[in-house]
A = this chain, B = another copy of it.
C-alpha cells in the first residue's frame, strides 16, 4: 500500500462508514469483521459503503496503535458504585501515568443505554473498554464481541474466549475459616446470601472443605436484618451453640454482631464473627470492628488497566479467567492470633 493510500484510509473512519451506511458504529464494525447478528443486506451495504469510501478495515488496528486516543471506556451496571468505585480507582491509577483518561459509563441493566454508550466509545475511538459490574456471574446487557478495540472484563462475566479478572472467592473464604479454626473454634456456622450467586456457592464449598461436609450453611438476603434473624434462629435451637459465624458479607456480619450483643453474648470472647467485602462504612463501624475478607478490587482494577494498556499497544495477552487473591483484614471481631508476615510460624501477635 502506498503512503497516500494509508493516509486516505486513516482519514476515513469507521464512524464515516456507519453514518453513510445509516447504521450504528457498532453495527458497521461488526459487519466489516463478519461478526454480530444482522441481515445479509445490511452487512453487504456496510461493506459496499466502506469500499466506496476507501475505508480499509486493516487500517483500524494500525490506527489503534498509531493514533491512540488515550482514553479507555469503563462500562458498569453497578450504579450504587459499591464494587465499581474501587475498580475505577485502580484503573485510573494504572492509566494516569500513561496519560490515559477513563470514561465511566453507567448503563444500569438497560441494553439500549448500553448500546448508546458503546457507540459513543466507538465514536471517540477509545483505546480499549473495561467492562465491570456487581456480580461475577452476570454479563452486562451489551455485546462487546467483535469491537475494533480490546476489551477486558473485571468483576463481571465475560464470553468464553475473553480476558476476565475475578476475585478468588474460594481462597478468601478458606483463609477466613482457617483463621477461625486456628483460633480454636469448633462449631463454625456460615450465614450467607442467596444460593443463586456463584460466589455464594464458591465460598460455601471452601467453608465445607475446611470444616467438613457437615458444616452448616444458612442462606438468606444480603442484609443486616438477615444476620439478626439467623442469630435468632441458631440461638433458639436446642443443643450446642455456634462459637463462630463466618458471614457472606459485612452487612450480614454486622447484623450477627448486633444480635449477639443484644443477647449478652460477647464478640469475640464467646463467639467469633468474620465478614466479607471489607466495606469500611460497615466493617469499621461495627462494635467490635469486623474482621473481613477484602476482595482487593482496587488491585483488580489496576490489573485491568495494565492489561488494557498492553492490548492497546498491540502486545499479546493470553485469554482466560484470572482469579486474583483476596486478603483477610483482621480487626477485633474474630479473636485468635495473627501470624507474622513470615507465614512459616514465628512471632504471634494477639488481636
Interface residues of A (CB under 8 A from B): 69-71, 79-81, 85, 88-89, 92, 96, 99, 101-106, 113, 116-117, 120-121, 123-124, 223-225, 251, 254, 258, 281-282, 285
Contacts and interface: CB of A to CB of B under 8 A. Distances in A.
A70 B120 contact: yes
A79 B89 contact: yes
12 contacts: A71-B103, A80-B85, A85-B85, A89-B106, A92-B105, A99-B120, A101-B103, A101-B105, A225-B285, A251-B281, A254-B285, A258-B258
A104 B88 contact: yes
A124 B113 CA distance: 23
Contacts of A258: 258
Contacts of A251: 281, 285
Nearest to A261: B262
Given A69-B124, A71-B103, 18 more contacts: A71-B124, A79-B89, A80-B85, A88-B104, A88-B106, A89-B106, A92-B105, A92-B106, A96-B113, A96-B117, A101-B103, A101-B117, A101-B120, A225-B285, A251-B281, A251-B285, A254-B285, A281-B282
A89 B70 CA distance: 24
B116 A96 contact: yes
A102 B120 CA distance: 10
Nearest to A97: B116
A101 to B, nearest CB: 5
A284 to B, nearest CB: 9
A50 B327 CA distance: 54
A103 B103 contact: yes
Contact of A102 (B70, B85, B92, B104): B104
A89 B89 CA distance: 17
Nearest to A81: B85
Contacts of A92: 105-106
A113 to B, nearest CB: 7
Contacts of A285: 223-225, 251, 254
A84 to B, nearest CB: 9
Nearest to A104: B104
Contacts of A103: 71, 101-104
A92 B89 CA distance: 19
A92 B99 CA distance: 24
A261 to B, nearest CB: 8
Nearest to A93: B106
A225 B258 CA distance: 14
A117 B71 CA distance: 12
Contacts of A104: 88, 102-104
Nearest to A119: B99
Contacts of A113: 96
